[in-house]
Amino acid sequence: MRKKHDWLRETYQKSLEKMPERPVAHRTLSNIAPEPLYTPEDIGVLDPEYEEKRGFPGEYPYTRGVYGSMYRSKLWTMRMFAGFGTAEQTNERFKKLLKAGQTGLSVAFDLPTLMGYDSDHPLSKGEVGKCGVAVSSLADMEILFEGINLEEVTTSMTINSPANAIWAMYLAVAKKRGYDWKKLGGTIQNDILKEFIAQKEFIFPPEPSVKLVIDTFEWGPKNVPKWNFISVSGYHIREAGSTAVQELAWTLADGFEYVEAALKRGLDVDEFAPRISFFFDVHNDFFEEIAKFRAARRIWPRRCATATKPRTPRAGCSAPTPRPPGSPSPPSSP
């Protein structure tokens, strides 16, 4: 059985070299300073199955976390889901949030935008700017991010059916302002399969819809390598009435379907898999949710590793990370 001190020396220290611990006191409310890791060793037990069942943080299959130091080094990116009315109004809101200390942006689009309609389309009547910001043109996108440094702020965009077009607008704005696409970071949700399961904001049938998603798998890593071109989403499935088990099953199944579709197109798993992100719900049952996330972390990399034979450990497909209660958007990787 591998010893705790071996993990501290081999994995934890290497993690800290890349990203040191935050300069804060890591203490409980009882003023106890927790160690970076606890194992059966801490209670004098030698469990020969520990490594296989749970393992260590930052190591395959990532049951106890995808990074060695996890949130001791860096907290998740915090974004207030924001968007309403016009691009001018939402831009003002974005700037207030950034001034208040927010570390990323999360764009909420109105229903016409989500369904691919312009604001002046007859079917958009009564819905423009209601549940998010109205974006019908490149001009709207330019106004939306006016005065915001796109290389310094990561942007999450909750958009699915027209994700390609909305992402193209964002990148066009960045290019016009002289930003380097290779320095841009962010996420487009782009998970069309969960729309058929839960949210129902689909435009095209499943097959052509998935084709559009895989187009981003092919184009994204070569041109915008720091961008997560999909956020496979269980949140909507859970909020539509599923159990924790059903949420996990449907979400991972969707993720595996995208991976298989990308492989059928001949794409390199080592290129696209690390940019696949996840968005899960955090519900009320504390221990059930912990079990759900741990199960997700184990199932995803194991299935990807056996099915895709990646050359690099990171391309064992990025493991899901829990979204803390109250956080309105998915976390970014530390």
pLDDT digits (tens, 9 = 90+) for 85-129: 999 999 999 999 999 999 899 999 999 999 999 999 999 999 999
The residue-averaged pLDDT of 10-37 equals: 94
- Share of residues in the chain with pLDDT > 70 (%): 92
* Mean pLDDT of the 211-236 span: 97
Question: Where are the domains positioned within the chain?
Answer: 1-74, 76-315
pLDDT at 311 over 80: no
Q: What separation in angstroms does the CA of 212 have from each of 82, 161, 165, 200, 219?
A: 26, 9, 10, 17, 11
Q: Which CATH architecture has domain 76-315?
A: Alpha-Beta Barrel (3.20)
In the predicted structure, residue 323 carries a pLDDT above the cut 70: no
- Average pLDDT value over all residues in the chain: 91
User: Average of pLDDT values for 167-177?
Assistant: 98
Looking at residue 82, what is its pLDDT?
A: 95
pTM, to two decimals: 0.88
